[in-house]
Amino acid sequence: MPQPIIRYAGSTSTRGSLRAQIKARIVLLGLFVGSIWLAFFLSAALPSLDLSRHGVVPRTLSGLQGIVFAPWLHAGLWHIAANTSGLLILGWLCMWPRIANFWQATLGAMLGSGLCAWVLGAPQSVHIGASGLVFGYAGYLVARGYYARNIASMLVALFVASSYGLGMLFGLLPLYPGVSWQSHLGGALGGILAARAATVKSSNRSSV
């Protein structure tokens, strides 16, 4: 005698929803990091464009454009490769529980990194690279664990602090010639402020 088949619609829809969420985040992060690599290949293929001039040039009006463009500009293959792993790992963690968290962290990191480099950078220097975003994502994730005080956020914060903490700390100090510690510091501060703002907004929404 044929046995009845029991289907649990709720669990099926949940699995499908999770797969859709994961796919959406993979596509978004791939496009975002891919756009940075595309800018790098374009710069390498057409050096006459001199895209690096669109970086942050401290205390110049034209140098403010680097707040937007600098994360897409890199000095060489070693430079972009060093930033890519951080963008992928930390950027992925910023996307949970909502994709909006990723954009909050990205905006905070870009503004903090660019403005800090513009204010504190050496005259006539040009600050480029996505390391400010990497530091911003790390700052966002650690700060979110402190402000949100939920288990998931705290576990992510502990992972980031233990995995990246020491290297990040040295990156905030003016120890290495040619490395924009100003961008790192500003990115981290921007990420922390973005996490604080997002947590306050979420708390206010929950209390309504």
Which CATH number does the domain housing residue 15 bear?
1.20.1540.10
Model confidence over 31-87: pLDDT tens digits?
999 999 999 999 999 988 889 899 999 999 999 999 999 999 999 999 999 999 999
Residue 4: inside a domain: no
pLDDT value for 132:
98
- Contact (CB, 8 A) for 134 and 90: yes
Cα–Cα distance measured from residue 174 to residue 166, given in angstroms and rounded to the nearest whole number: 15
Domain count of the fold of the chain: 1
**Residue 3 in domain:** no
Question: CA–CA separation, 147 vs 199, rounded Å?
Answer: 7
Q: In the prediction, which pLDDT does 48 show?
A: 87
End-to-end CA, the chain: 56
Does the pTM surpass 0.85? The reply is yes
Q: For the chain, which residues score pLDDT lower than 50?
A: 5-6, 8, 207-208
pLDDT at 175: 92
How far is Cα 120 from Cα 146, in angstroms, rounded to an integer? 28
Q: Is residue 1 part of a domain?
A: no
Q: Is residue 196 part of a domain?
A: yes
pLDDT at 6: 47
Q: Is residue 2 part of a domain?
A: no
On whether residue 71 sits in a domain, the answer given is yes
Residue 17 inside a domain? The answer is yes
| Dihedral sign (CA 56, 54, 34, 18) | positive
Confidence at residue 208, expressed as pLDDT on a 0 to 100 scale: 46
Range of the domain at 55: 9-207
Residue 145 CB contacts under 8 Å (≥ 6 apart), including other chains: 153, 154, 155, 156, 157, 158
